[in-house]
Structure 1
Amino acid sequence: MKLPERLLLDRLAYLECVLGVLSFLVLRLARPPYGRYVPPSSAFQLPARVAWAVQELPSLVVPLVVCCCAETERLHSWPNRILLAMFLVHYTQRSLIFPFLIRGGKPTPVRTCIVAFTFCTYNGYLQSRYLSQCAVYADDWVTDPRFLAGFVLWLIGTLINIHSDHILRNLRKPGETGYKIPRGGLFEYVTAANYFGEVVEWCGFALASWSPQAGAFALFTACSLFSIAQHHHQWYIEKFEDYPKFRKTIIPFLF
């Protein structure tokens, strides 16, 4: 690995941190450009299943291409392999499974899909290129407390995210329309249980990786989802008079 590329990957990580802060500010001022916040009359929209699959797929395809083209001993290291697998497991579920489980999702504006597609390409390259070309871990890194704690957090976050999505999908019975208050799981404590799971997941990944690249992704995820969660929380409060007053926005008992 030549030093200039390592510097480039570090700078791309710092840029992702800046983008995360900007997304936090923009999403605080404007509603999320998808789902319940987009008028049905908006032009140039994609079906929810198509949009989700298309915009998330680069995070799976780009790392696979990067790793297939990489000729490096990094991919023979178990820490690197496990971290790459953690990233790929999430996006296999997100791009090949989750979209086809959606029930009657709202259409997504094409511009929103393009922005998400671009970010997933950017981040997919950043994470996979770093782990396949730059990251050097000791052979016993998989027993380091940071890796073990990070892996456990990643697994817990993944399970929370998948379970919360399952609850949201099953809110309506066949033939029903409209919105309902989510019940069960961490939805008993927060409005955005699915987002909480994803934030925990990528914070765990960052801890296990112990790298600026993974840390930048965790920061970007938290910044974006915290702002969106606040919009969701306010929307539920305004729409449902009986919405549980004790529920927090995204972090149980705190926020």
Structure 2
Amino acid sequence: MELGEPWFLDALAGAQGVMAFLSFMILRRLGSPYGRHSSPLVRWWVPARLAWVLQELPSLAVPLLECARAAPGQLGCPPNACLLVMFLVHYAYRSLIFPFLIRGGKPMPLYTCALAFTFCVCNGYLQGRYLSQYAEYAEDWVTDPRFLAGFALWLVGILINIHSDHILRNLRKPGETGYKIPRGGLFEYVTAANYFGEIVEWCGYALASWSAQGGAFALFTFCILSSRAEQHHRWYLEKFEDYPKSRKILFPFLF
């Protein structure tokens, strides 16, 4: 028996689902202690750019290592290859592009960075190992309505996520500090447009993969980002008297 066998990957997906629920309950009570919500009592910090690279890079490196170990036939299967590319494209952006576009980002608490790093190692292993060595799809899965709908959602989600990051980066002019109300794009409808994009993205990935592994990741993403989106929304309402009251927290017109 080895840790990469299907039963272990299913158990790891189940554990991720349980952790998603527990994290949601904890974050609803305590909040996410980084960025604008950081505690002044934190003693150890990691510079913003370095933190993002360190914590996100395992989600790129670990699946690539699993691909290097995989049998050539598995990676030659179009559905497996497409799903791996979907996963890797996001984390290539998040670990190698996004950090170097940050403008004056706040340092991140060391323990927050360490927790994110640990999750990315585990999830990178889960998704990479499953898709590169164990997931079995019919050759024509890429034409299945579930895959096509999932891929469309993934594409829309990553574009929303990247565009929303761009809006947030450009809120301040050179030399300016402090926070401003985001304007434009989906920020006209929700407080956390970037989180909305990422949730849509990974829900699309889960649908396209039609797997417990993809579903557990989408659930975890929703639980973490929805709680942080609510925290952001409360903060904006408290800080800005003119914050648009019609804006929802995360889902346009709904929540």
Question: What TM-score do the two structures reach when normalised by structure 2?
Answer: 0.97
Structure 1 Cα separation of the partners of residues 213 and 220 of structure 2: 11
Q: CA deviation at 1:21?
A: 0.5
Which residue in the other structure is 2:150 paired with?
150
Structure 1 Cα separation of the partners of residues 43 and 96 of structure 2: 26
Q: CA deviation at 1:2?
A: 8.7
Does 2:113 align with 1:113?
yes
Structure 2 Cα separation of the partners of residues 218 and 4 of structure 1: 21
Secondary structure at 1:253 match in 2: coil
Aligned-residue CA RMSD (Å): 1.5
The answer (yes or no) to whether the contact 2:33–2:39 under 8 Å persists in 1 is no
The one-letter code of the counterpart of 2:165 is D
**Map 1:1-255 → 2, pairs under 5 A:** 5-40=5-40, 42-255=42-255
Structure 2 Cα separation of the partners of residues 4 and 173 of structure 1: 49
For residues 63-102 of structure 1, the C-alpha deviation after alignment (integer angstroms, 9 at most, x for no partner) is: 0011101225211100000000000000000000000000
CA 1:34–1:11 in 2, change beyond 3 Å: closer, same or farther?
Answer: same
Identity value in percent: 69
The answer (yes or no) to whether the contact 1:72–1:133 under 8 Å persists in 2 is no
The one-letter code of the counterpart of 1:236 is Y
Question: What TM-score do the two structures reach when normalised by structure 1?
Answer: 0.97
Structure 1 Cα separation of the partners of residues 226 and 97 of structure 2: 25
The answer (yes or no) to whether the contact 1:172–1:180 under 8 Å persists in 2 is yes
The answer (yes or no) to whether the contact 2:9–2:130 under 8 Å persists in 1 is yes
| Aligned length, in residue pairs | 255
Secondary structure at 2:136 match in 1: coil
The answer (yes or no) to whether the contact 1:24–1:227 under 8 Å persists in 2 is yes
Runs of 4+ in 1 over 6 A off after TM superposition: 1-4
CA 1:3–1:20 in 2, change beyond 3 Å: closer, same or farther?
Answer: closer
Q: CA deviation at 1:3?
A: 11
Structure 2 Cα separation of the partners of residues 21 and 170 of structure 1: 34
Q: CA deviation at 1:33?
A: 1.7
The answer (yes or no) to whether the contact 1:72–1:132 under 8 Å persists in 2 is no
Structure 1 Cα separation of the partners of residues 149 and 185 of structure 2: 23
The answer (yes or no) to whether the contact 2:44–2:109 under 8 Å persists in 1 is yes
Where do 5+ consecutive residues of structure 2 fail to align? none
The answer (yes or no) to whether the contact 1:181–1:243 under 8 Å persists in 2 is yes
CA 1:35–1:3 in 2, change beyond 3 Å: closer, same or farther?
Answer: closer
Structure 1 Cα separation of the partners of residues 71 and 180 of structure 2: 51
Secondary structure at 2:163 match in 1: helix
Structure 2 Cα separation of the partners of residues 128 and 97 of structure 1: 21
Where do 5+ consecutive residues of structure 1 fail to align? none
